[in-house]
Amino acid sequence: MTTIRRDLSRREDSMILYPRSAACHLIPTRVICMLLVIIQGAVLNYYLVLYNNRYWFAWIAGDVGMLFVFLMTFVISYRHLSLVRRALMLGTPIETGSLPMGYFSWFVYSCMMSVRSAIIFKNFAWKLDEQDFFGPNTLKFNLCLSAIVFLMLLMSLHDAVSGSERKRHIDILTQTVVFDILDSVDILDIFFDKKGVDALFPGLDWAVVCIASLNMVLPTLSLMTLSRTHFGYLPLPKTLETAHKLAVLFLVNAPLLSIRLLLWHKLDQDVSTFIMKNIIVICLIIYDFYKRGEYRRSDLPELVVEKQSFELNMLETGDKN
């Protein structure tokens, strides 16, 4: 198992002392996460049974297995964070491994959510009545809870301090996930209108379902990267950061923007305000790549190196004096 050995005097988190009671401060996030997973599974199973038959109760077995995966994830992360806090309190090097169960649990969860959602939206979403409690609004609200599940899962896997370099690395890979999940749920609105579904181009309905499902599974890669970097204890490679932004650009926002433009101009259907979110994110990512290229083409990197060398020489001269 990979280990991390860092000199605590060189880490910004070394000045933080955790009391013994802090070992339980993440338990509420784990409890909330488990409750939301149970509620989501129960609601989706109810839709499947109500509009199909009782055989769809078999999904309960999958939900039980998924809960077991989450439980094991939380147990392992609890022990992991306890070891980190103990090392901080004793002033010893941190020796912990990565957390593979974190991204595995989200992968299992997202796959089960995506499959059931695809079945519902492809087969009978247009049959849901807004007058009923278990209508389209309850279904959308239930799916949107996945954003909170992701936040609760992420919070239970690390203890990075707000404003620290570790937290910055975590935010780089996860700051858009919540909005991407909500965006994916929003695009599925077209399936609640039977006439709108019939007017879609051949294959477009499957394209929407596949893109929404992919966006639900995609955060697995972010959690996997964070696990490999020990949630900020190891530096985030620039190649992984670039790959993440490219995925957000070409797998999330560009496809959703294209579908919304197609629905708007070709099929004369209403589009969501999330279309502006897609445009803004795409522009920000392109601008970020442009500024990086401009920085590499300029003399700034050399100036930074010269400045660091000058400061180092000044420190050495001061030590000699």
The alpha-helical segments, DSSP class H, found in 3-58 are 27-51
Return the pLDDT at 88: 65
Instruction: Using alpha carbons only, give the angle 185, 214, 118 rounded to the nearest 5 degrees.
Output: 60
Q: Is residue 210 part of a domain?
A: yes
Structure tokens at 135: 């209508």
Give the domain range for residue 62.
8-234
The alpha-helical segments, DSSP class H, found in 91-192 are 100-123, 136-155, 165-174, 177-187
Q: Is residue 241 part of a domain?
A: no
Return the pLDDT at 96: 56
Q: Is residue 276 part of a domain?
A: no
Return the pLDDT at 97: 56
Q: Is residue 78 part of a domain?
A: yes
Return the pLDDT at 37: 96
DSSP letter for 103, please: H
Q: Is residue 250 part of a domain?
A: no
Structure tokens at 240: 């992984």
Q: Return per-residue pLDDT of the chain as tens, 321 residues.
A: 444 444 333 344 433 434 444 445 567 889 999 999 999 999 999 999 999 988 999 999 999 999 999 999 998 888 877 776 776 676 665 555 566 788 999 999 999 999 999 999 999 999 999 889 999 999 999 999 999 999 999 998 888 888 888 888 899 899 899 999 999 999 999 999 888 888 888 889 999 999 999 999 999 999 999 888 888 778 888 888 899 999 999 999 999 999 999 988 888 888 889 999 999 999 999 998 888 877 676 655 544 444 444 444 444 444 444
Count of domains observed in the chain:
1
Q: Which residue has the tokens 């589009």?
A: 271
Q: Which residue has the tokens 């799916």?
A: 143
Q: Is residue 46 part of a domain?
A: yes
pTM of the model: 0.83
Cα(64)–Cα(142) distance, rounded to whole angstroms? 18
10 Å Cβ neighbour count for 234?
15
Return the pLDDT at 241: 87
Q: Is residue 129 part of a domain?
A: yes
Cα(191)–Cα(195) distance, rounded to whole angstroms? 9
Cα(25)–Cα(159) distance, rounded to whole angstroms? 10
Q: Is residue 217 part of a domain?
A: yes
